[in-house]
Amino acid sequence: MQTRELLAWAMLAVAGVVRAEADVPPPAESSEAVASDGVASDGEASEPAAPISIIPDDYTCVHPPYRAHIFSQSPLIVYLENFITPDERVHLQAIAYVAFSRLSCPPPPPRGLDSSFQLTSARSHGKFQSSVVLNPEGRAVSNSVRSSQSTTVKADAVVRCVEARALDFQGFDIPAVHVEGIQLVKYAPTQQYLHHTDWLKDPHKSIKEGGNRISSFFGSVKAVNVTGGGTNFPLQTAPTDSRWCRFVDCDQPYDAGVTFRPIEGNVVYWNNLHEDGRGDDRTLHAGLPVVSGEKIGINIWTRQAAVPDWWRN
């Protein structure tokens, strides 16, 4: 087992923080490995959005007793239940609302957002934009690959709390400066992100941005009345234990891999790289089209080295 996987297993065993579901065996590792479609994922981030002033003066970062379910040992894929608290989701939805409000047809305020909250900031320059996908040479490719909208959020106390939780899950040896600015992504009906990997095809092109992505977290901040919109891993084996049906689509064809359903507050974590630093093709995944409703997702990516300050702040 890889060093980082051993660390993650150790973290899962910490009492009172997370509990590994030892009685839910992970599926067998897929023997297939196919090359990605040449899409290198986001690469350049949009300019970070400014924070909004809804954080109380006495705010304290408290990590919830989330549960971790190990789905696969190699590559390491862990399903994190209740990883993002309801209050954090409301706050992140509010940030998204500010970003959406700069569009021509903004959506209604998120559920739970009190009308007394002041959605203001002297530097409120962030907005959702068409998601950017780069090829191995670092150049933007057709948006037909990724039709969602995304924004990189300006760090505030709540955002930093979620980031700290993601870092703690990976062990205590990863500096905070290795985490990219947290990204929110909006999927409306028909919008999707075709199969891709988060690790970069040519990490040397991105050394100045922290090198390659060693890990990914993807979860749902908002998923109200959503059909479709799951996160599909086509090279992973569908689970046989029916308890997984709380989190994955057990009605899809067996040969379609596994699709994690969008559930608010829940997150999927996976390692992107082999021990020698090569990208792991088995982490190929897609954001499936939303059929109805609206999904707001969250991306947290950890790099091999420090990312630029402007990307985090």
Which residues, listed in sequence order, are joined to residue 42 by a DSSP beta bridge?
A: none
pLDDT of 148 reads: 79
Closest CA to 166 of 2, 42, 303: 303
| 129, pLDDT greater than 80 | no
Rounded to an integer, the average pLDDT of 47-55 is 50
| 10, pLDDT greater than 60 | no
Distance (Å, whole) CA 198 – CA 228: 21
| 258, pLDDT greater than 90 | yes
| 202, pLDDT greater than 80 | no
Q: What residue spans define the domains of the chain?
A: 67-99+129-311
Average predicted confidence (pLDDT) for the chain? 77
Rounded to an integer, the average pLDDT of 157-161 is 96
pLDDT band at 135 (very low <50, low <70, confident <90, very high): low
Rounded to an integer, the average pLDDT of 129-154 is 65
To the nearest whole percent, how much of the chain has pLDDT over 90? 53
| 203, pLDDT greater than 90 | no
To the nearest whole percent, how much of the chain has pLDDT over 70? 66
pLDDT band at 254 (very low <50, low <70, confident <90, very high): confident
Rounded to an integer, the average pLDDT of 18-26 is 37
pLDDT band at 139 (very low <50, low <70, confident <90, very high): low
pLDDT of 131 reads: 56
| 173, pLDDT greater than 50 | yes
pLDDT of 143 reads: 60
pTM, entire model = 0.75
pLDDT of 119 reads: 30
Distance of CA 86 to the CA centre of its chain: 17
- Are 87 and 162 spatial neighbours (Cβ–Cβ below 8 Å)? no
| 69, pLDDT greater than 70 | yes
> Residue with structure tokens 């907005």?
127
- 290-307 pLDDT, tens digit per residue, is 999 999 999 999 999 999
Rounded to an integer, the average pLDDT of 235-256 is 92
Domain spanning 67-99+129-311, CATH architecture: Sandwich (2.60)
Distance (Å, whole) CA 1 – CA 107: 46
pLDDT of 132 reads: 54
Q: What sign does the dihedral 81-86-91-94 (CA atoms) show?
A: positive
pLDDT of 149 reads: 84
pLDDT of 179 reads: 95
| 55, pLDDT greater than 50 | yes
